[in-house]
Structure 1
Amino acid sequence: MKKVSTVVLVAFIIIQFFPIDKTNPAPTPGMDLLKIKNTSPEIANLIKTSCYDCHSNETVYPWYSSIAPASWIMKNHIDEGRKALNFSTFAMYEQKDQAHKLHECTEMVESREMPLDSYFLGHQNAKLSDEERKILIDYFKREKQETERKMLY
């Protein structure tokens, strides 16, 4: 048993030499959803608190993001989140894609798929109350309708 414990400890120490890249992509002024949609401070705060760490270029890495293998899992979530939806570059999506992404946001918040339950482990402030969920759902629906309206002109 002592040999197994030693091997596990040595492996844990070795994997610490393979850190994740915590560099956020450069800001893209004027491309962020919250700016282009002129989002109210209340809603912007909800989105930043519950979504931005994985769905923007403004990730704030917590202390445990320096400890492998948790850091690797976190980095994978962030990369996948940005790939699926990046609020920081929202203006770069075509309008039909923006409308689709806003619809997906509505569905994910309604179904409670987002934010991920695992995100709450280190971010209790990201938990959304039923009222906050409704505020976000209404916001995403409203912005989707506005985006679709602009597509007609």
Structure 2
Amino acid sequence: MIFRFSVRNLLRWVLLLLIIAIISIQFYRPNKNDAKVTPSTDFFLSFDAPESVKKHVVNACYDCHSNTTKYTWFDNVMPIGWWVDNTILKGKTSLNFSVWEQYEGWHKLNLLSAIEFDLKTSKMPPKNYTEYHKSAELSNDQRQEIIDWISTIDRPSLVISKTNNYNYAQD
């Protein structure tokens, strides 16, 4: 039997290998970012925020910036899931609402300023996220409501530790 080279045979083999590769990568999945319990260090346990502000922030920010992500069906399809996992990891590295109380006072001040800036400039939530997560879209009024609430947070109290000492760098 002589194997005859043809474009049709080549395409069949390439397609078969591609299908095998796509099926194979479905078996390697990153760990889910889905803590079932709200930690005692969560952002909203530190502040008395109106329910509407909590709702807006949780819907628009917590999927990428906390330890609790609500996944959609397509987040479970690889390689999309790998990209989503990487995005969540980057988001939690810059700000993780679930560990708010573990941040130093100066870091909290910087994060609040960054949140305000990102909301004012519509940088967050990103368009590629809200395109597929419509509940995360924030209207201009919702953005302003969050910004107004953040501006009421007593900033000096953030840099004073529980022992009433300022959080200066330790020698």
| TM-score between the two structures when normalised by the length of structure 2 | 0.80
Q: Is 1:130 matched up with 2:140?
A: yes
Alignment partner, residue 78 of structure 1: 88
| Structure 1 residue 24: Cα displacement | 3.2
More helix by percentage: 1
Q: 1:65-84: CA deviations, max 9, x gaps? A: 21100000000011111111
Aligned amino acid, residue 131 of structure 1: D
- Which residue among 17, 27, 44 is the counterpart of 2:27? 17
**SS in structure 1 opposite 2:15?**
helix
Aligned amino acid, residue 57 of structure 2: I
Whether the 8 Å CA contact 1:50–1:115 is kept in 2: the answer is yes
Q: 1:10-35: CA deviations, max 9, x gaps? A: 21111111112115357463311111
| Structure 1 residue 101: Cα displacement | 0.3
Q: 1:62-115: CA deviations, max 9, x gaps? A: 212211000000000111111110111101111111011000011111111110
Whether the 8 Å CA contact 2:67–2:96 is kept in 1: the answer is yes
Distance 1:33 1:126 in 2: 18
Alignment partner, residue 93 of structure 1: 103
Alignment partner, residue 36 of structure 1: 46
Whether the 8 Å CA contact 1:96–1:148 is kept in 2: the answer is no
User: Any unmatched runs of 5+ in structure 1?
Assistant: none
Q: How many residues align?
A: 151
Distance 1:130 1:124 in 2: 15
- Which residue among 106, 109, 117 is the counterpart of 1:107? 117
Percent identical residues: 28
Distance 1:116 1:23 in 2: 19
Alignment partner, residue 50 of structure 1: 60
| TM-score between the two structures when normalised by the length of structure 1 | 0.89
Q: 1:42-65: CA deviations, max 9, x gaps? A: 100000000000101111122122
User: Which entry has the higher C-alpha Rg, 1 or 2?
Assistant: 2
CA RMSD of aligned residues (A): 1.9
Distance 2:159 2:66 in 1: 25
Runs of 4+ in 1 over 4 A off after TM superposition: 25-28
